[in-house]
Amino acid sequence: MKQKRVNKPKEQLAAEMKVAQETMRLRNISKDKFYPFLKKHTTSIEDAKRFLQIIDTAVKSTYNEDLVVRTVGSLKMVEKIRETAPDSEKERYSDVFKMFEDETIVTFIRVVSDFQQVLGGLVAEWERKCKLAQLGSPFPDEK
């Protein structure tokens, strides 16, 4: 069966192309640089795992220190959204990043994470209380 062609906005196609290019770039770094480096500079799988944990922790701890100081505005998210988001989505994304522009990155992450947990809890509570019949039939020919 032939699939229906879906026309995507130019901005969405460009964003998907960027994601695909970045995925390929990361694969090439891993395959051509990092894996050969690990083979050369580690003595065993255990040593490689320990080495990876140490460098991961070192970068994350430095990065986390930076998150407490830097503001959301310093990330230039509004500019990035203008380049990558579909036109229909630009305003709401830009508005949320402008709202948090003077807040630290940590504050932004905490607020967003807290709301994700709150919404998850509300949905879980609703799922416990809601009867299946309230959703309606999943069959189009049945009401």
- How do the pLDDT tens digits run along the chain, 143 residues long? 666 777 888 888 888 999 999 999 999 999 999 899 999 998 999 999 999 999 888 778 878 888 888 999 998 988 888 888 788 888 888 899 999 999 999 899 999 999 899 889 999 998 999 888 888 888 877 76
Burial of residue 142 (number of CB atoms within 10 Å: 0-12, 13-18, 19+): exposed
Count of CB atoms within 10 A of residue 10's CB?
Answer: 9
Helices (H) and strands (E) in the chain, counts: 6, 0
